[in-house]
């Protein structure tokens, strides 16, 4: 998982980075509002730790835009200001939690891991196609598209492995299961059905010669 740490104090940023990396996270450091915006525009993060006081602006200003991205990352506010009004303001903007400096790193990792476990993506999107996994609903623009159970499961699988070349055998095992008695023609049939029902998928779901299929992201 990837975490963006927005912190203008170099020593604190380095300590936090080392601690998070020790716990298996990929970490990007941004020391200013401008650097944070650049990182957020070029990469996706599972969590963002936001310092309120930055040399070129207010960290709070980032929260609404961060939380509207899909899937929305977990957002923690980190600040030396511990007044109740500040905490409430941060939460009202959409932050998931609020920690007052000096941050106890063990407390940070406990809260962070708890928040990440509770994080449920609102949906997956590819161009005009939006998937709501909780509602098991697929839309092409504003139109709801009816998919059979395994068509839906296959589409979600391709979205989870966006950009990867997937063999027919791999797809069959992962989507239908090892105990499924069918053969790889089942995959081809369901791919054809997805392409017929969803124009964006027809355009982006490529056949990989002698391998299988690859769902490509839209540039």
Strand 129-132 to 74-79 pairing: unpaired
CATH class given for the domain over 2-118: alpha beta
Spell out the CATH class of 124-215: mainly alpha
* Domain positions in the chain: 2-118, 124-215
- Whole-number mean pLDDT of the chain? 89
| C-beta pairs of 93-96 under 8 Å, 24+ apart in sequence | 93/60, 93/63, 93/64, 93/67, 94/63, 94/64, 94/66, 94/67, 95/50, 95/63
- Indicate the pLDDT class of residue 116, thresholds 50, 70 and 90: confident
0.85 exceeded by the pTM? no
Taking the C-alpha atoms of residue 58 and residue 185, their distance in angstroms, rounded to an integer, is 56
CA dist 215 and 33 (Å) reads: 34
Q: Tell me: the pLDDT tens digits for 129-165?
A: 999 887 889 999 889 999 999 999 999 999 989 899 9
């Amino acid at each position: 998982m990837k975490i963006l740490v927005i912190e203008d104090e170099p020593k604190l940023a380095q300590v936090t980075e080392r601690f998070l990396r020790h716990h298996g996270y990929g970490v990007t450091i941004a020391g200013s509002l401008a650097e944070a915006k650049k990182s957020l525009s070029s990469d996706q993060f599972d969590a963002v730790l936001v310092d309120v006081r930055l040399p070129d602006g207010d960290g709070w200003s980032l929260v609404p835009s961060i939380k509207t991205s899909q899937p929305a990352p977990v957002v923690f506010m980190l600040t030396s200001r511990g007044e109740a009004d500040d905490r409430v303001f941060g939460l009202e903007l959409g932050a998931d939690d609020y920690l007052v400096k000096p941050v106890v790193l063990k407390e940070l990792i406990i809260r962070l891991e708890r928040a990440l476990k509770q994080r449920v993506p609102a949906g997956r999107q590819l161009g005009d196609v939006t998937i709501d996994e909780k509602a098991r609903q697929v839309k092409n623009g504003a139109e709801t598209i009816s998919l059979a159970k395994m068509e839906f499961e296959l589409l979600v699988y391709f979205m989870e492995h966006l950009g990867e070349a997937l063999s027919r055998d791999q797809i069959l095992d992962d989507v239908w299961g090892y105990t499924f008695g069918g053969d790889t023609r089942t995959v081809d049939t369901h791919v054809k059905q997805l392409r017929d029902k969803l124009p964006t998928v027809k355009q982006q779901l490529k056949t990989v010669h002698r391998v299988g299929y690859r769902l490509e992201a839209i540039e």
